[in-house]
Structures are given as structure tokens and as C-alpha cells.
A and B are shown apart, each in its own frame.
Chain A
């Protein structure tokens, strides 16, 4: 029976990035995927004729350009298109727009507050400073502060030097940024509700915290440190949907000789004498490998795929307590014509960007209150967009795919499992919010896919449907992600690695965890890593 050099569990973006780098280092790599399609949470699916849905993740910014280049993803069809603007609709029939043009942006803010219009410069400066501090850390393995290995000490010194390189005020800002609530943070810059709501949304996406919860300021940073071709902080659509990312990765992987098996659900990681030897698939088939890399989240990996007895107690307890709470849902809608939002002029660039209906931080927080009580938000926060305004490949001309990210949405409804009726009622909450601002919206709906945490966990495999494979709070970042002492992609089981978003530097379609894990694995195998570009300079 064949023994693979490495077996990767899960054909999500990080699993594929990892597999690509291992395969290109000369290993014989197998990727197993439980679904009949690849992509994990970065996938494009055709669920109704003529339409493609980015049915989980829906926008791209964090994916590291070094990885795109190393793995030749453009050659395999990956194109990312920046989107154009954005809007927050207000309840008085007006809206606040975000424009790419700096001065248009200022004039728009000035419609609401002369002061806020001129506050944006300092805000952007401070956020940029912090992003520049974090960016170089993304493509490096987090140092283990308890180890005294020269490499960890070296990395700690690197971190320390980076930190010492900040000015005194920036150092203070860094600590504040990593611990503050996004609401408090924005209060330092802006006075207008809708302007604060406009920025606060980046602080809560995918996070089971409210905008007033400490720690949410960092989540905003996490959403700002990406780029589209050098335009830092910009977000774009992957042409062909987010599945284009994983399709390019899969094609790149296969082109270098890799093998992917879909429809192959992993039952268990085979462990013999404390060492991973392969997998048992559903149905009992054994697949043997010299090492196993799991792209599944840390809870799924160690609580479902590995027998508890193989793991140290302290590690198990930490994994069980790792915060990975479901907080969001997704509604994907096929529309037979462009919905109108009368608040927006017809030629508004906001149609080609992200739209929102939550015009105050207070409303967001109230939405979070519902979640704490075990209900989905009656007045949810939507991150809504129509990629088909820019991407001609996802719907027939004149028709549109609308992606609605919905927050907050609990993993259980008042303590009980989700039912189909709950799911439909949840969808109705979303549609009715959109219809408030878009007369005739319901009539345009051709098809709708509704995904609560139940569907996200069952299909994508994300525990509780948490999109980041674990919340991005300071206690769960850097050398604490996912478990102190195991932040370097290794696990207590010899030969079992983790490469998903549960690891440093965390979630989003970034690819960095998969890449960094490959770097560690190749290191353990004493294989060269010349095919892996170092992080681009931040100058």
C-alpha cells in the first residue's frame, strides 16, 4: 500500500497552499476533501442555473501576494479586482458613501460633520502605522517565548526591535489597539454615529463580540492589513468568485504533481506510538502517510479526528476552551435584475461596493445583545454586495449574485439546534431588511441559499460556523494561537501538523497559515525552502 509523504486534510485555501508548497519541495502529497468539491470556505458554487455563488467567504484582500506569485496563481486563473466604494444607508433615507478618491471621501463625510471630514487623515495614519507593524509578522512563525531555542530568541528579538522601532505614542497605540473596543477606538477620532458605524463593521465581522467589547479594535486592523496589488487596505472580488482562489491553488497543485481526493471524509487520524501514520476515511479505508497536516480547525482536528487519549490533558483543555463561537450567517441570492436602492443616485459607485444598513454603533451592539440571548439579531448587521457589478462570470448579463454576510447569528437558537423553520425565519429577517431600502426587492429573487452556523459547520466543517477558525482576540493571537506552546503548526502528536486559520496569523482568506506551516514542516524534514518567497518588504 502506498505511503504518501504528506496527507493534507481539507482542500480549503490554507490546506491547498500548504500542499502546493510541500509538493513543490519534492514531496508526494495527497489532499483529502470530504465534500465532492474543493475550496472549503473559499468556493464558488452553482446552485441555480446560470449563477455562481461565493457562498462562504466573498471578498479578497488578505491573501498574500507572495503566495500568489510563488504558486503561479495568475497562470491558473486568479485575478482580483478592487471594488469601488461602499455605503451605509441611514434610516432617514440618506446614506454615507465611501469613495476611493480621497477628496470625495472627505466631502462625503463633510455632509455629516465638518470635523469628522478632517479627522480621517489622522485615523488613516494611525491605522496604517499599526498595519505596518503587523504586516511583516504574518509570514513568520510566531516565536515561542518559553523556548530558549536560538531561533525563537531571534524571533523574539525581531519582534522586540520592531516594537522598539515604534515611537512612544505608537507603542501606546499598539497596546490600545490590541485590547480596545472598536467603539472606544473610533470615539477618539469621530463624532458622527453613521461614520463610526461605517468603520466599526470591520471590527465585528466574524467575531462573537459587540463593537463595545474590548478586543474588537484589533479585528478592524486584521481587515485593514491586506491589499490589492499594493493598494493597502483595499478589498476586491476574485474574478469567478472566491472559488477562483482555491481552483487556482488546486490547478497549481496538480500541475506540480499533487493529488486531490474529493468525497473523502476523514474519520480519524491514524496514530501509532504517538506518531501520525495516516488517516482512516469514512467507510474504513486507511490512507498511509509519513505525516499528516490538518486544515480543519483546531477543535475539529483534536476533538474529533484524534483520540483524546493521545493528547496531553492541558492541551486538550486549552483546545476545548479555544474561543470559536459562531456569530454569523450567510445569505446568497440570485437576482433576475439589478435591485434599486432609491437612496443612491443610479450612477453611484456604491453599487459596485459593499452596502450596509446599520447606521449606528448602538444598533450593532443591540444586534449583539440578541446573539447573547441566543437569538439571531432582529435588526442584523449586513455586509452586502453584488460582485456581478464588476465580475461578468458569475451571472448572466443584467442578472446579479448578491452576497449577504449576516451578523449576529448564534450557533444554537435559544439553546436548541437550528431547525429549517428557524433558518427560513432568519432569511426573512435579512430579506426584509434589504427590502426596506429596496422596493420590489423580493420580486427579483430567483434563488436563495441560506447558511446559518448549522450549515456552515455541516458543510464547510467550521466549528460553530466560526469563519476565522477561532476568534481574533489578543489572547488567541501570535504565540497563543491556538494553544501556547503549539503555535508553530506542530501538535503534541509527532508528524501531525495544523495549517488552518486556527493558527497564526489567523483567519480570512490569507494563505499565510498554510504557507508558514509548510515552512515548518520542510524545516523538520531538512528540505530546502528556496521556492518560498520571504514576505515583501514593508518600507
Chain B
């Protein structure tokens, strides 16, 4: 009598001849972007950080001077690690309208808008930029990964969603001479791009999508190419920029510029819903300063009912505000107090702004503080100086964002510098 069932497989060595490169990825835990050879050649600080699994520069040669390159000349920053999805099909517009907060019907082909999307409970999953490449083709760029959410949301729509982070390389060219550099590089017609416009230009036998967008609050552009055209694009810009002060920069410099522009970063200034382990860390758009995106008139979208309800019942708990803090000591991760006593929130990012000559910060506060109660707010700064915390209690004022407004960002036609 057999005491165990027949073995389903004949005993045989299950052996694969050779290992594919895909199987060997564990040997490189931080991968390179298509621009890495150029960045490596310019890297002097060896100051890398992990951006979504990529080896990305925190700085390249001098984090302070890299910032000034953004504001005075032109800075080249590799944004390839940004997560990108291609969304395409006859229902692409209606799908994205259902998915995101803003009205995508108002986004014409050749335009870009900054948007966000929520789960069914109205909690923000991420913010990002939506590029309308054609009537039926979009690109969604963001910080976190959302493929399961996008695919599930697409059920019932005639649309395909493809993750294309690795396939598409991208650069940000930001700063006063960025337009002049693109013109110099031969992108004819680039002068016609108004803020949030995009257009396709020929490049190296293929094409590049250039949008007048960026994360610096300055005149600037973002360029998207297939990965195999990345290096020739870099070289084209670098050559054209030689006489106009082009410099490669890392994230530390960019982070200062974005803070001056008052822009928020997912999982730095708020916790995205799919990452929040603690229920009280979830945020609705109105709680992180994205209420302006919410279009309650456009029809149903994810989270609509809850967002509308929170507004009408006045149950929003938090508010994200810009703060101007007295003195010049950055208040990073400082606790915010009302009347120096009651804890009402936390600073998520703070710097001394070279452009505003002010001590600025982004903070999340517990309503009504920062919303209707904006008087008598303070931040408690612990500044470590030679192994001692210097504790400062400084007055904070709620101010509008952006902290700086540069005319050259929106000027049309764009200025030479």
C-alpha cells in the first residue's frame, strides 16, 4: 500500500544554464540612471543618496554654490528616478478625471498640470505632474509607486497603464539662462513654450518632450527622452550651456529652491496614504495645502464624497502652512507652539532663504491653528552647536506660499537670463 501519493514530478535536476542580467540585479543595490556616466565624470563630493533605489547625487561639487547656479545661471538635475506612468487610450481622460483631483478635461494636449490623487477615504496617495502628450496619451510623474492602484482604478476604462520609469530618462534644466541654452541647443520654437506648456522636439534621430515646468520656482524646463537618447541629450545641453554657466547639481541645492518655491515633497512634508502605518498620519488634500486642486464640479473622482463631507462638516484636522520665523536659524523638524505652551504642529522643512532673506519653513499644524488661529505661534528650535543644544523659542508668522515669486518664471517670451 502506498502511504504517500505518487510524486507529481520525475526526479530530475532542475537547472538553468546561465543567469540573466535581470537575476543578477542583487549585485547592484543602487542602480544607475542613463545619465550616470556624465554625472560620475562631474562628481567631486562623492555625496550620493538613495532616490527610489537609484544612486543619485546629494551634491556634486558644492551644495551651496549648486543652489546659486539654479538662481543665477542654469542647473542640470537628473530626475530620471522620478516614477513615471504612461496612460493611454480612448478613455485616458475620463480615467484620469476619475483618478485625480483636478479637471483633466481642462488640460489640453500640450499642457501639464500639478495634481494629486486620493484613496476612497479621501487621503492623499501622492502628488505629481500630469503631462497631456496627445488627446489620448498622458504621462503621470510622481514620487511613489502606484501601479496596483492605477490598474485597479482603470478597471472599466478603455485605457492602458504602463510603468516607464526605467524606459524614460529625464532632466530638469532650471535657472535664468535655461531658455537661452535650449535655444542655443537648437530646439527651434522652444521660445513659444509658456509656463506649463509642453512640446516634442527632434533629437538624435528620435524626439524629446520639453515642458516648461520645474521644481524650483524659477524659469526652467524638464526634458524627457527614451533612455537610449539620454547621453546625447545631456551632451547637447552641456555644449550649448558652456557659455551660459550650466552646472550639474544634486538634491540638496534643489531642495532649497523648492522650499523657496513653497512646494511640498511626498513623504517629507506629508505621509502618503499607502505608507502611513499610523492612522492619524493620513492627510486629505485640504490638510496639506492641495485643496485648490479639488474640483467638486467635474463629476465623481476617488475620495470626492469624503472630501466634500469633511469640508461641509468642518472636520478637517490639519493644515499645511508656510511660516516665516524670526532670526536666521533654520527650524527643521521643530515643534510649533501656540503661546509658547500648547503644542500645535511640526515643521517638516526649513531653510534660510537666500532669495527672500528670510527664515522660512513648511509646517503641519493642528486646526484651528494655522487656519483661523494664526496669532501667537512659536517654534522651538534645538540648534546643536559644539555638542550642546542651543534652545531658541522664536516667533512664527503664517505667510502665503510661494515664499518667493520670480517674474522670469512665467515671463513670455522667456528672458535671456
Contact = CB atoms under 8 A, between A and B. Distances in A.
A511 B25 CA distance: 39
Interface of B: 1, 3-9, 11-16, 19, 22-27, 29-31, 50, 52-53, 121, 144-148, 151, 163, 274-277, 279, 282
B26 A104 contact: yes
A107 B53 contact: yes
7 contacts: A104-B53, A106-B53, A111-B23, A129-B277, A132-B277, A167-B279, A343-B16
Given A169-B121, A436-B14, A91 B9 contact: yes
Interface majority SS (helix, strand, loop, mixed), chain B: loop
Nearest to B144: A121
Interface residues of A, number: 59
Contact of B24 (A129, A166, A345, A425): A345
Given A111-B22, A167-B279, A429-B4, A122 B274 contact: yes
A379 B146 CA distance: 37
A93 B8 contact: no
A108 B26 contact: yes
Contacts of B282: 167
Given A119-B148, A343-B16, A425 B23 contact: no
A89 interface: yes
B5 A370 contact: yes
Contact of A378 (B6, B30, B144, B147): B6
Given A93-B16, A437-B14, A114 B27 contact: no
A404 interface: no
Contacts of A399: none
A308 interface: no
A93 B279 contact: no
A420 interface: no
A429 B7 CA distance: 9
Interface in A99-114: 99, 101-104, 106-108, 111, 114
Contacts of A137: none
Contact of B27 (A118, A347, A370, A378): A347
A435 B276 contact: no
Contacts of A95: 23
Given A115-B151, A439-B13, A378 B7 contact: yes
B339 to A, nearest CB: 27
A170 interface: yes
A375 interface: yes
B6 A432 contact: no
B11 A432 contact: yes
B53 A103 contact: yes
B279 A166 contact: yes
Nearest to B28: A104
Contacts of A429: 4, 7
Contacts of B25: 104, 107-108
Contacts of A425: 3-4
Interface in A69-118: 85, 89, 91-95, 97, 99, 101-104, 106-108, 111, 114-115, 117-118
A129 B276 CA distance: 9
B274 to A, nearest CB: 5
Contact of B15 (A97, A169, A342): A342
A129 B24 CA distance: 33
A486 B50 CA distance: 52
B14 A93 contact: yes
A422 B3 contact: yes
A529 interface: no
Contacts of A132: 277
Contacts of A93: 14-16
B274 A115 contact: no
Contacts of A119: 147-148
B148 A379 contact: no
A166 B121 CA distance: 14
Contact of A103 (B12, B23, B24, B29): B29
B11 A435 contact: yes
Given A108-B25, A342-B16, 7 more contacts: A91-B14, A106-B145, A125-B275, A345-B23, A422-B3, A436-B9, A437-B14
